[in-house]
Amino acid sequence: MMTYQLMFLCLIVLAKTYGDRFTDMEEIRVVLVGKTGVGKSSLANVLLNKDAFVTGIGSSSITQMTQSERVTIKFPGFDRKKLVIIDTPGLFCTRANNDEIAEEIGRCVEMSLPGPHVFVYVISGSERFTKEDLNTFNHLKLRFGDDFINHVIVVFTKIHPNEVSEFAKSHTKELKDILAQCNNYHTHINTKTPRDRLTREIASIWKLIYETVQKNDCTHYTSFMFKQAEKRREDDKKREEEKLRLEREVLRQAAAKEKKREKEKQQWEKEKEILQKKNEELEAKRKEEEMKRKKEETKRKEEIKEEEKKREEREKKRKEEKERNKEEEERKEEEEEGKYEWLNGHCDLKAYTLIALGLSGTLFTAGPLAVASTGVAATGAVLKYMCDV
């Protein structure tokens, strides 16, 4: 109880020393960040002194979207102050998608415009400080920029008052490093403790918030700083996009090459097909011509055969003709012979007649007539001789 009173006294002394500007501050904007399930919403409810945000256990973030609550409280050592608490979902663990995270951070900044005075980085004291916790912190630093460190305090939740010293001993090197970065602005709370017994813990948190605001000359984390952080992120994104673009370009070129190769292959296949078709046509034509040639050959052979046959027939006819002619000749010869025989007979008869006539003329005419008769007789003899021949 003594400690609690001492703390209040300290706050009042601080307020009296530096309080003027703080007194003038219209409102204090506090953003709660941290891994999912660490107790951000529970802590926000405690600070707001009402159940403004849903709490619970789940594998994914119970708080789905950044939300804010505005209350007027009696700030220790000061008059009533407006307090804006911005509760965020468990970023960087349940939301792997970069765009979703950026959107959520954008919403968080928008709700805390012109900028939060304090970031409360909530860590669960009942669990081991893991690599995920460290990553979350580093991501926050990266996203919000270096000025985040100037405005952040750490609150360990789920720690029983009796376990505080033991918990402090169990801090890992990484956790100690984070606390050092946060200027050792850290405290603890067990939000499950009834509120009337939480005064000391709450006062401790208010003290850290007050000190942080004072440390920063009552200035808030500005959107300019956010813009700087955003710019860095944009640059990273651009670099990433450029890398992706180059990778895509390489892939596109490879695809184009592949396409060209495919096209060439198709063209080649087409040409092969055409060539094959032509060959088939030529083969068909060749076969057709071969058949035609064979047909003509057969026809020619038949014609030769026919010709041969005709020739043979002609030869036969010729022979027959010759035979017939010979026979005719023989027959004629025979006839001729018969005729000459007859003529011979007649010649003989004529010759004898002429001889007889010659002789009778000679007898009757004597003299020259006898010579003439002899001549006629001689002619008749000659004629007969000729007929014989």
Ligand X SMILES: Nc1nc2c(ncn2[C@@H]2O[C@H](COP(=O)(O)OP(=O)(O)OP(=O)(O)O)[C@@H](O)[C@H]2O)c(=O)[nH]1
Instruction: Say whether residue 157 binds Mg ion (CB under 5 A).
Output: no
For residue 153 the two structure tokens come to: 């305090």
Which of residues 15, 29, 31, 63 is near ligand X by CB under 6 A?
A: 63
Q: 235: Cβ–Cβ under 8 A, 6 or more apart, which residues?
A: none
Instruction: Say whether residue 158 binds ligand X (CB under 6 A).
Output: yes
* Shortest Cβ 3–ligand X spacing (Å): 20
- Number of H helices and E strands in the chain, helices first, is 10, 6
Instruction: Say whether residue 89 binds ligand X (CB under 6 A).
Output: yes
Binding to ligand X, residues 204-243 (CB under 6 A): none
Helix (H) or strand (E) holding 323: helix 223-365
Per-residue CA distances from 212 to 11, 29, 109, 116, 186 (Å): 13, 12, 18, 11, 11
Which of residues 45, 63, 112, 187 is near Mg ion by CB under 5 A?
A: 63
Query: Which among 105-113, 136-144, 187-195, 287-295 is the span making contact with ligand X, rule CB under 6 A?
Result: 187-195
* Shortest Cβ 63–Mg ion spacing (Å): 3
For residue 260 the two structure tokens come to: 């060209």
* Shortest Cβ 94–ligand X spacing (Å): 7
Q: 278: Cβ–Cβ under 8 A, 6 or more apart, which residues?
A: none
Instruction: Say whether residue 157 binds ligand X (CB under 6 A).
Output: yes
Instruction: Say whether residue 124 binds Mg ion (CB under 5 A).
Output: no
Closest to ligand X by CB, 64 or 72:
64
Per-residue CA distances from 298 to 284, 292, 301, 313 (Å): 21, 10, 5, 22
Q: Are 362 and 374 in contact (CB under 8 A)?
A: yes
Closest to Mg ion by CB, 41 or 157:
41
Q: CA 386 to CA 347: how far, in whole Å? A: 10
Closest to Mg ion by CB, 48 or 203:
48
Angle between helices 223-365 and 367-388 (to 10 degrees): 150
Binding to Mg ion, residues 13-42 (CB under 5 A): 40-41
Q: Which does 76 bind (CB under 5 to 8 A by kind): Mg ion, ligand X, none?
A: none
Q: Are 33 and 91 in contact (CB under 8 A)?
A: yes
Instruction: Say whether residue 41 binds ligand X (CB under 6 A).
Output: yes
Query: Which among 57-65, 128-136, 282-290, 364-372 is the span making contact with Mg ion, rule CB under 5 A?
Result: 57-65
Query: Which among 62-70, 228-236, 304-312, 343-351 is the span making contact with Mg ion, rule CB under 5 A?
Result: 62-70
Closest to Mg ion by CB, 89 or 358:
89
Q: 75: Cβ–Cβ under 8 A, 6 or more apart, which residues?
A: 28, 81, 83, 206, 210
* Shortest Cβ 256–ligand X spacing (Å): 47
Query: Which among 35-43, 72-80, 292-300, 311-319 is the span making contact with ligand X, rule CB under 6 A?
Result: 35-43
For residue 63 the two structure tokens come to: 């708080």
Query: Which among 59-67, 155-163, 301-309, 320-328 is the span making contact with Mg ion, rule CB under 5 A?
Result: 59-67
Instruction: Say whether residue 187 binds ligand X (CB under 6 A).
Output: no
Q: Are 187 and 204 in contact (CB under 8 A)?
A: yes
Per residue, what are the HEC states of 222-269?
CHHHHHHHHHHHHHHHHHHHHHHHHHHHHHHHHHHHHHHHHHHHHHHH
* Shortest Cβ 180–ligand X spacing (Å): 24
* Shortest Cβ 181–ligand X spacing (Å): 21
DSSP assignment string, 76-116: TTSSEEEEEEEE---TTTT---HHHHHHHHHHHHHHTTT--
Going by their DSSP bridges, the two strands 118-124 and 186-188 should be labelled as unpaired
Instruction: Say whether residue 67 binds Mg ion (CB under 5 A).
Output: no
Site string for Mg ion, 356-375 (x = CB under 5 A): --------------------
Instruction: Say whether residue 67 binds ligand X (CB under 6 A).
Output: no
Instruction: Say whether residue 136 binds ligand X (CB under 6 A).
Output: no
- Where do contacts with ligand X occur on this chain (CB under 6 A)? 36-42, 55-57, 61-63, 89-90, 157-158, 189-192
